[in-house]
Chains A and B, each alone.
Chain A
Protein backbone atom coordinates (compact mmCIF):
# COMPACT_ATOMS: atom_id res chain seq x y z
CA UNK A 1 0.00 0.00 0.00
CA UNK A 2 1.35 3.42 -0.95
CA UNK A 3 1.38 6.00 1.80
CA UNK A 4 0.78 8.74 -0.80
CA UNK A 5 -1.64 8.44 -3.69
CA UNK A 6 -1.92 10.96 -6.50
CA UNK A 7 -4.52 11.40 -9.18
CA UNK A 8 -4.66 11.57 -12.04
CA UNK A 9 -1.50 9.78 -13.18
CA UNK A 10 -1.56 11.57 -16.52
CA UNK A 11 -3.29 14.76 -17.52
CA UNK A 12 -3.53 16.57 -20.83
CA UNK A 13 -5.00 20.05 -20.96
CA UNK A 14 -5.46 22.84 -23.45
CA UNK A 15 -3.60 26.05 -22.80
CA UNK A 16 -5.63 28.30 -20.51
CA UNK A 17 -7.49 25.52 -18.73
CA UNK A 18 -7.78 25.28 -14.95
CA UNK A 19 -5.97 22.18 -13.67
CA UNK A 20 -6.34 20.25 -10.44
CA UNK A 21 -4.04 17.50 -9.17
CA UNK A 22 -5.01 15.59 -6.07
CA UNK A 23 -2.99 13.95 -3.32
CA UNK A 24 -4.20 11.70 -0.51
CA UNK A 25 -2.00 10.34 2.22
CA UNK A 26 -2.40 7.80 4.98
CA UNK A 27 0.36 8.68 7.46
CA UNK A 28 0.52 11.36 10.12
CA UNK A 29 2.50 14.24 8.72
CA UNK A 30 4.27 17.36 9.79
CA UNK A 31 4.24 18.90 6.31
CA UNK A 32 3.18 18.23 2.73
CA UNK A 33 5.15 19.29 -0.32
CA UNK A 34 4.37 19.81 -3.96
CA UNK A 35 7.38 19.33 -6.23
CA UNK A 36 7.80 19.96 -9.96
CA UNK A 37 10.08 17.97 -12.24
CA UNK A 38 10.57 18.80 -15.92
CA UNK A 39 11.57 15.96 -18.28
CA UNK A 40 15.23 15.14 -17.71
CA UNK A 41 15.44 17.90 -15.15
CA UNK A 42 15.81 18.36 -11.45
CA UNK A 43 13.33 18.91 -8.66
CA UNK A 44 11.85 22.30 -7.87
CA UNK A 45 9.96 22.78 -4.62
CA UNK A 46 6.69 24.58 -5.26
CA UNK A 47 5.01 24.55 -1.87
CA UNK A 48 5.39 23.29 1.66
CA UNK A 49 2.10 23.17 3.58
CA UNK A 50 1.09 22.17 7.05
CA UNK A 51 -2.35 23.78 6.98
CA UNK A 52 -4.67 25.92 4.88
CA UNK A 53 -3.76 27.32 1.51
CA UNK A 54 -0.82 28.90 -0.27
CA UNK A 55 -0.64 30.79 -3.54
CA UNK A 56 2.31 31.57 -5.76
CA UNK A 57 1.54 33.21 -9.07
CA UNK A 58 -0.83 30.92 -10.98
CA UNK A 59 -0.32 28.02 -8.58
CA UNK A 60 -2.49 27.37 -5.54
CA UNK A 61 -2.03 24.55 -3.02
CA UNK A 62 -4.53 23.54 -0.38
CA UNK A 63 -4.48 20.97 2.37
CA UNK A 64 -7.19 19.45 4.52
CA UNK A 65 -5.48 17.84 7.50
CA UNK A 66 -8.63 16.11 8.78
CA UNK A 67 -9.31 14.48 5.42
CA UNK A 68 -5.58 13.86 4.70
CA UNK A 69 -5.94 15.42 1.30
CA UNK A 70 -4.22 18.13 -0.69
CA UNK A 71 -4.83 19.69 -4.09
CA UNK A 72 -2.57 21.60 -6.44
CA UNK A 73 -4.36 23.98 -8.79
CA UNK A 74 -2.90 25.68 -11.84
CA UNK A 75 -4.90 28.58 -13.22
CA UNK A 76 -4.58 29.69 -16.85
CA UNK A 77 -2.33 26.76 -17.70
CA UNK A 78 0.57 27.28 -20.11
CA UNK A 79 2.72 24.83 -22.10
CA UNK A 80 5.67 25.65 -19.83
CA UNK A 81 3.67 24.09 -16.96
CA UNK A 82 4.16 20.72 -18.66
CA UNK A 83 6.04 18.63 -16.11
CA UNK A 84 5.63 15.89 -13.54
CA UNK A 85 4.12 17.11 -10.28
CA UNK A 86 4.99 15.08 -7.19
CA UNK A 87 3.27 15.13 -3.83
CA UNK A 88 5.51 14.35 -0.84
CA UNK A 89 4.75 14.17 2.86
CA UNK A 90 7.17 14.30 5.77
CA UNK A 91 6.42 12.73 9.11
CA UNK A 92 9.51 13.96 10.91
CA UNK A 93 11.36 10.70 10.34
CA UNK A 94 11.30 10.41 6.57
CA UNK A 95 9.47 11.48 3.44
CA UNK A 96 6.92 9.56 1.42
CA UNK A 97 6.34 10.34 -2.24
CA UNK A 98 3.52 9.89 -4.70
CA UNK A 99 4.39 8.47 -8.11
CA UNK A 100 3.68 11.81 -9.72
CA UNK A 101 1.18 13.33 -12.14
CA UNK A 102 2.47 13.89 -15.65
CA UNK A 103 0.92 17.08 -17.03
CA UNK A 104 1.00 18.07 -20.67
CA UNK A 105 -0.42 21.44 -21.67
CA UNK A 106 -1.11 21.76 -25.38
CA UNK A 107 -0.88 25.19 -27.05
Chain B
Protein backbone atom coordinates (compact mmCIF):
# COMPACT_ATOMS: atom_id res chain seq x y z
CA UNK B 1 0.00 0.00 0.00
CA UNK B 2 1.22 3.50 -0.79
CA UNK B 3 1.73 5.98 1.97
CA UNK B 4 4.08 7.92 4.20
CA UNK B 5 6.18 6.31 6.91
CA UNK B 6 7.58 8.27 9.82
CA UNK B 7 9.78 6.57 12.33
CA UNK B 8 10.01 6.24 15.17
CA UNK B 9 6.62 7.14 16.65
CA UNK B 10 8.24 8.34 19.89
CA UNK B 11 11.79 9.65 20.19
CA UNK B 12 13.74 10.72 23.26
CA UNK B 13 17.00 12.67 23.22
CA UNK B 14 19.25 14.52 25.59
CA UNK B 15 19.60 18.27 25.26
CA UNK B 16 22.50 19.30 23.04
CA UNK B 17 22.24 16.31 20.72
CA UNK B 18 21.21 16.54 17.09
CA UNK B 19 18.44 14.16 16.11
CA UNK B 20 17.16 13.14 12.67
CA UNK B 21 13.52 12.30 12.02
CA UNK B 22 12.74 10.01 9.14
CA UNK B 23 10.06 10.54 6.48
CA UNK B 24 9.70 8.12 3.59
CA UNK B 25 7.01 7.95 0.91
CA UNK B 26 6.36 5.41 -1.84
CA UNK B 27 3.78 7.53 -3.64
CA UNK B 28 6.14 9.01 -6.23
CA UNK B 29 5.21 12.47 -4.96
CA UNK B 30 7.42 15.39 -5.90
CA UNK B 31 6.55 17.62 -2.95
CA UNK B 32 7.22 16.86 0.71
CA UNK B 33 6.72 18.93 3.84
CA UNK B 34 7.61 19.06 7.52
CA UNK B 35 5.33 20.60 10.14
CA UNK B 36 5.64 21.08 13.88
CA UNK B 37 2.83 21.01 16.44
CA UNK B 38 3.05 22.45 19.96
CA UNK B 39 0.40 21.75 22.60
CA UNK B 40 -2.74 23.75 21.96
CA UNK B 41 -1.40 25.19 18.73
CA UNK B 42 -1.87 24.51 15.06
CA UNK B 43 0.73 22.90 12.85
CA UNK B 44 3.40 25.20 11.48
CA UNK B 45 5.58 24.74 8.41
CA UNK B 46 9.27 24.06 9.01
CA UNK B 47 10.62 23.15 5.57
CA UNK B 48 9.26 21.97 2.26
CA UNK B 49 10.67 20.52 -0.93
CA UNK B 50 8.97 20.67 -4.30
CA UNK B 51 11.58 18.60 -6.09
CA UNK B 52 14.65 16.49 -5.44
CA UNK B 53 17.77 18.44 -4.43
CA UNK B 54 15.74 21.55 -3.67
CA UNK B 55 14.05 22.72 -0.48
CA UNK B 56 12.72 25.94 1.00
CA UNK B 57 12.43 27.32 4.52
CA UNK B 58 8.99 27.56 6.04
CA UNK B 59 7.80 29.80 8.84
CA UNK B 60 9.89 28.26 11.63
CA UNK B 61 13.03 26.85 9.99
CA UNK B 62 15.54 28.12 12.56
CA UNK B 63 17.31 25.27 14.33
CA UNK B 64 16.31 22.70 11.71
CA UNK B 65 17.93 21.30 8.57
CA UNK B 66 16.70 19.01 5.81
CA UNK B 67 17.96 17.18 2.75
CA UNK B 68 16.21 15.84 -0.33
CA UNK B 69 18.70 13.56 -2.04
CA UNK B 70 16.05 11.05 -3.07
CA UNK B 71 12.47 11.61 -4.18
CA UNK B 72 11.09 9.22 -1.58
CA UNK B 73 12.98 10.56 1.43
CA UNK B 74 12.91 13.91 3.26
CA UNK B 75 14.71 13.61 6.62
CA UNK B 76 14.52 16.43 9.16
CA UNK B 77 17.40 17.12 11.54
CA UNK B 78 16.61 18.92 14.76
CA UNK B 79 19.86 20.59 15.73
CA UNK B 80 21.09 21.67 19.12
CA UNK B 81 20.39 25.25 18.00
CA UNK B 82 16.64 24.62 18.21
CA UNK B 83 15.68 26.16 21.54
CA UNK B 84 12.47 24.20 22.16
CA UNK B 85 12.71 20.96 20.22
CA UNK B 86 10.13 18.99 22.20
CA UNK B 87 7.09 18.79 19.91
CA UNK B 88 5.08 16.63 17.54
CA UNK B 89 6.49 16.52 14.00
CA UNK B 90 4.36 15.73 10.96
CA UNK B 91 5.51 14.91 7.45
CA UNK B 92 3.27 15.31 4.40
CA UNK B 93 3.53 14.87 0.67
CA UNK B 94 1.61 15.92 -2.40
CA UNK B 95 1.60 14.88 -6.02
CA UNK B 96 -0.37 15.42 -9.18
CA UNK B 97 -4.12 14.85 -9.40
CA UNK B 98 -4.73 16.34 -5.95
CA UNK B 99 -2.96 13.49 -4.17
CA UNK B 100 -2.14 14.66 -0.66
CA UNK B 101 -1.04 12.43 2.20
CA UNK B 102 0.06 12.79 5.81
CA UNK B 103 2.37 10.61 7.84
CA UNK B 104 1.44 9.45 11.36
CA UNK B 105 3.93 11.82 12.99
CA UNK B 106 6.84 11.55 15.44
CA UNK B 107 6.65 12.79 19.00
CA UNK B 108 10.08 14.10 20.06
CA UNK B 109 10.96 14.70 23.69
CA UNK B 110 14.25 16.38 24.57
CA UNK B 111 15.33 16.47 28.22
Contacts and interface: CB of A to CB of B under 8 A. Distances in A.
Interface of A: 2, 4, 30-31, 33, 35, 37, 40, 42-45, 48, 50, 86, 88, 90, 92-95, 97-100
Given A90-B94, A92-B94, A95-B92, A45 B102 contact: yes
Contacts, number: 54
B98 A31 contact: yes
**Interface secondary structure of B, over-half rule:** strand
B45 A94 contact: yes
Interface of B: 6, 9, 33, 35, 40-43, 45, 48, 50, 58, 90, 92, 94, 98, 100-105, 107
B42 A33 contact: no
Given A2-B42, A100-B42, A95 B100 contact: yes
Contact of A99 (B9, B42, B98, B102): B42
A95 B100 CA distance: 9
Contact of A48 (B41, B100, B104): B100
A48 B102 CA distance: 11
B104 A44 contact: yes
Residue of B98, B100, B101, B103 with most partner-chain A CB within 10 A: B100
Nearest to A102: B40
A90 B100 contact: yes
B94 A97 contact: no
A102 B105 CA distance: 18
A35 B102 contact: yes
Contact of B33 (A2, A50, A94, A98): A94
